[in-house]
Structure formats: C-alpha cells, structure tokens
Amino acid sequence: MGDQGTHAAARPLRILSGVQPSGRPHIGNYFGAMRQNIELSKRSDAFIFIADYHALTTIREPKKLAEYSLGLAKDYLALGLDPGGCAFYRQSDLPEVCELAWILSTVTPMGLLERCVSYKDKMAKGFAPDHGLFAYPVLMAADILIFNAHKVPVGRDQIQHIEMARDFAQRFNHLYGEPVGKTFFTLPEAAIEEHVATLPGLDGRKMSKSYDNTIPLFAPREQLKKLIFSIVTDSRAPGEAKDTEGSALFQLYQAFASAEETAAMRAAFADGIGWGDAKQTLFDRIDREVAPLRERYNDLMAKPAIIEEQLRDNAVALRERHATPLLRTLREAVGLRDLSKAGDAPKVEKEQAAALPQLKQYREKDGKFYFKLADGDVVLLQSIGFENPKDAGAWVARFRQEGGAALSAAVASIAAQTAEAGAALDALKRAEDERAQSKTG
Ligand code: TYM
C-alpha cells in the first residue's frame, strides 16, 4: 500500500476519496472523482474506498449492495487503479470510522446538518429522512479525518460536506487540543476539476442515480447508444446554429474530448450540425474511450475472491497503522480512559505535560546542528542545518519565549512546517509561562 508514515512535515500529499456503491457508477462519478483519484494515486499517498456504510442510507436490498460493492471494486481495477500502489479498501472493514463518527457527532451542531444542501434536497423530494441520511456528513468527515487527508477529489456536490469535515476537525482540535497544545486533525480541502465538476445527465439536470438520468460508465455498446440518442436537446433543425452553453450534449462531449476535438465540436455547433450527427459523434467518442475498459471489466468477472482478499488485507493494515492508534489517542483525549489511572490528579497533569509538543535541538550525521518541534511522531517544524550550535539554540530559546509569534522572523531558518506549528508553539509558551509563574508565585 502507498502508505508513507505519519510525519506531517515530511508527509507527501495525501488524497482520499470514496464512491458509494449505490448503483452502477456513471460518467459523472468517473469524471468528478474516479479518474482524478486514479491519476493522483500515481503520485501521492492515496486512500480510495468503497463507501458502503454510506450506501446503506439508500440501498435496502442486501444482495444488491454486495453486488454494487463488488462492481465498484472491479470498475476501479478496470479503470487502471493499482491496488498495490495505494490504499484501496472498503469502508465497512474499518469499524473505527463509525466510532470516530460518533465522537465527531458530539461536536456537531444540529443546525449545521440541517443546512446541508443534499439533506434539504432529499427532504424536498419527499424522502422520509432517517438518522443515517441526516448524519451522513458526520460519517463522511470521519472517513476523511481518520487518515488526516489533505485533499479530497470530488465533484461539486460534495464540497459542502468537505467544508463540514473541516469545521468538525477545527471544533475537535479546539475543544480537546487547546489545553494541551495538541492538534488531532489536518483540515482537508476539496480537489475539484472545474470543467467536469457537475456533469449533466440525459435530461440536462446534474447526472445522478437519484434522478434516474445517468449514463453508466460500463453500459454495453447498444445501451450506450440508446442512452446517448435520448439526451434532451432543443428543437433547432440541422443547419441552424446551436448553443454550446447549457447543452448537456456539448458538456458531456468536452469531458471526453481533447482541446482540439472540443474546439471542432464548438465550430460544428456554430455551423448548425444536426442533433443526430452530434449524438453520433458523442457516442463514437465515448465508445472509443470505454470499449477497452469494458473488456477489462468483463475479464475481471471471475475474480471476486481475489478482490475480497485484497480489500480485507488492506483494511487490516490500515487499521493497524492508522485507525487503531488514532482512536487510542482520541479516546485518551476525550477521557475514555483506563480507569485504574483515573482520579490520580498529579499523574494526569504529568501526562498532559508529556503530551505537549517538544522542541528539540540535535546534531545530524552531516555535522550540522538542527532543531525541530515534534508532537510524538509527528514533526511540526523542522529547521535548516546550522554550522554553529548556538544558532539553533537561539531559535529554540526565542520560540520558548515568544511562541508562534516568532515564526515570521524565522522563515529563513525553517526547512518545513505544518499548519499546526504556530498553535503548538503558543501552547508551549503558555506552559513555560505557567511553570515560571508557579515558581515565582
Ligand atoms: P457519490 O457516490 O454520490 O459520488 C461519487 C463521486 O462522484 C461525484 N459525482 C459527480 N461529479 C460530476 N458530475 C456529476 N454529475 C456527479 N455525480 C457524482 C461526486 O461528487 C463524488 O465525488 N458522499 C460521497 C461519497 C463519500 C466520500 C467520502 C467522498 C463518502 N465518504 C469521503 C469523499 C470523501 C458521495 O455520495 O459520492
């Protein structure tokens, strides 16, 4: 798996994204997320998963849910995902995600969930809301935060959920991190590819399983043709110039096409291409792209046991390396603790002091002198190498005195730093101040 450890400063870009197995993936899912995920997994630390806990909010047929989950795993493999080069897993193999969702739900204001667009949308369509649907963004935040992902490649409809995940992370960091200068969660950001962030469906509305207007990515050739010829267009006759703006057909074409092909189609629209010809061109373009994938997909038919084994093995490793240690830290932070140590006030204080990040000065094999700020295993701040130990020492002393305020003056002496470094330095300074005060007082 492409798991590169937990050092924040040295950590490569970590991406994470899930797709629900709530039907067969469609072209919107492919361009909005799956294609980006696969591309990014080649050059970053990638976590790509089957969001089957989430699909429980819509799929009530157990057999179907299992079929869709297998189908989605095969889709990813057929699309070229290298399961050895990234963390490819199934959400429900990580029960810690649910535990984290519960912990996060205790810092989630109801009002925030009530304002969630996708929830309001479903309500407006007459869905009888259950708690799963309402709490959906909390579970999604847990997916992202459990691996401290930096970027989340998604379509536009998921941006609000990712903003909520940031919000929950911030709240938790603030509530439980401030007193001991600890930061538990990285704040994630959505990664959007603008021109395909909301692909339209056959009727011109957003392509969505719930609107029944999708073009399944691996639709057989004949079905693909039928669907494409059913795309809604206006009534302009051949020879009349057509608008690309607002045309579902044009938007779908540009998702697949190169810049030159898109320019040619734009010109054809202006020249009055007939809708039949435009649909045929779109069909040919899509079919050219997906025909080899369809074949790969069909070849994978016979290997569900291998897929199952891979997903399980990956989840075991992910739990061991990430989920279990993180939940241990979080349980400790919120007070779900070993009772044999409860009530022992001096010891708890000591534990909190030990939980403070540490500023360390040291010498490397290159003979130079360095300092770093580390929170357990995680490096929050890393200096450049100094020829003279006094230079490293002077910065350590200054950070102790001034906290994060000294960071801007130290820019040239810092090789790497995380977003959490400033807050951690402030916490250290506070602890130093308190210690000094208790000595004098
Ligand atoms: P889901 O399963 O509805 O969709 C999967 C991905 O496809 C994108 N997408 C689209 N992109 C462009 N045009 C469209 N018409 C279109 N329709 C869907 C979605 O934006 C999404 O990126 N909540 C998520 C699944 C999830 C998740 C996560 C994602 C669960 N946990 C953590 C990221 C991180 C969802 O329902 O996606």
Q: How far is the CA of 30 from the centre of ligand 1 (A)?
A: 9
Give me ligand 1 centre to Cα 158, in Å: 6
Same domain, 126 and 157: yes
Are 129 and 189 within one domain? yes
Residue type, 165: A
* 354 or 29, which is more confident: 29
Q: Which residue has the tokens 């079905």?
A: 223
In this structure, are 163 and 67 located in the same domain? yes
Same domain for 21 and 142, yes or no, is yes
**Three-class secondary structure of residue 16 per DSSP:** strand
- The pLDDT of residue 3 is 42
Domain membership flag for residue 5 = no
Quick one: pLDDT band at residue 11, thresholds 50, 70, 90?
low
pLDDT tens-digit profile of 83-137? 889 999 999 999 999 999 999 999 999 999 999 988 888 888 887 788 999 999 9
The string of pLDDT tens digits covering residues 341-353 is 887 655 444 455 5
Distance 405 CA to ligand 1 centre (A): 40
Whether 214 lines ligand 1, by a CB cut-off of 6 Å, is no
The finding on whether 199 has its CB within 6 A of some atom of ligand 1 is yes
Whether 312 and 371 share a structural domain: no
Does the C-beta of 25 come closer than 6 Å to ligand 1?
no
The CATH number covering residue 328 comes to 3.40.50.620
Residue 434's domain comprises 356-440
The pLDDT of residue 422: 86
Residue 319 and residue 94 in contact, taking contact as beta carbons nearer than 8 Å: yes
Q: Which residues pair with 151 in a beta bridge?
A: 15, 189
Number of domains in the chain: 3
C-alpha dist (Å) from residue 196 to 49, 189, 265, 315, 410: 21, 18, 17, 31, 42
* Same-domain check for residues 416 and 399: yes
- 292 and 150 in a single domain? The answer is no
Q: What is the torsion angle, in degrees rounded to the nearest 10, for the CA atoms of residue 209, residue 214, residue 218 and residue 221?
A: 150
Residue 41 has pLDDT above 90, yes or no: yes
- Strands 358-363 and 87-90, by their bridges, are unpaired
pLDDT above 90 (res 285) = yes
The dihedral over CA atoms of 409, 412, 416, 420, expressed in degrees to the nearest 10, equals 10
Q: In this structure, are 272 and 317 located in the same domain?
A: no
Residue in 157, 193, 212 to alter for ligand 1 test, most ligand atoms within 8 A of Cβ: 157
Residue 6: pLDDT band (50, 70, 90) is very low
pLDDT in tens, 137-159: 999 999 999 999 999 999 999 99
Same domain, 272 and 328: no
Calculate the alpha carbon distances from 415 to 372, 411, 412 in Å.
10, 8, 8
Same domain for 316 and 168: yes
> For position 417, what pLDDT does the model report?
85
Find out whether the beta carbon of 36 lies less than 6 Å from any atom of ligand 1. no
In terms of domains, do 41 and 85 share one? yes
147 closest CA partner among 64, 81, 71, 87 = 87
pLDDT at 302: 61
What's the CA gap between 129 and 392, in Å, rounded?
Answer: 58
Handedness of CA 388, 389, 395, 398 (dihedral sign): negative
Q: What angle do CA 421, 140, 66 make, to 5 degrees?
A: 140
**CATH number of the structural domain spanning residue 261:** 1.10.240.10
Counting runs of H as helices and runs of E as strands, what totals does the chain give? Answer: 19, 9
152 lines ligand 1 (CB under 6 A): yes
The residues that are catalytic are 122, 206, 209
Tell me how far the alpha carbon of residue 272 lies from the centroid of ligand 1, in angstroms.
35
Contacts of 2 (CB under 8 A, 6+ apart): 41, 44, 45, 46, 85, 86, 87
Asked whether residue 4 carries a pLDDT value surpassing 50, the answer given is no
Please state, in angstroms and rounded to a whole number, the distance separating the CA atoms of residues 333 and 330.
Answer: 5
Predicted local distance difference test score (pLDDT) of residue 441: 53
Are 110 and 48 members of one domain? yes
Long-range contacts of 236-245 (CB under 8 A, 24+ apart): 236/272, 236/275, 237/274, 238/272, 238/273, 238/274, 238/275, 238/276, 238/277, 239/272, 239/274, 240/272, 241/269, 241/270, 241/271, 241/272, 242/269, 242/270, 242/272, 242/273, 242/275, 242/278, 243/269, 244/269
Q: What are phi and psi of 191, to 5 degrees?
A: -115, 115
Distance 7 CA to ligand 1 centre (A): 29
C-beta of 19 in contact with ligand 1 (< 6 A):
yes
Closest atom of ligand 1 to 139 CA is 31
The mean per-residue pLDDT over the stretch 427-440 comes to 74
What's the pTM?
A: 0.79
CB 33 within 8 Å of CB 66: no
pLDDT tens per residue across span 251-278: 999 999 999 999 999 999 999 999 999 9
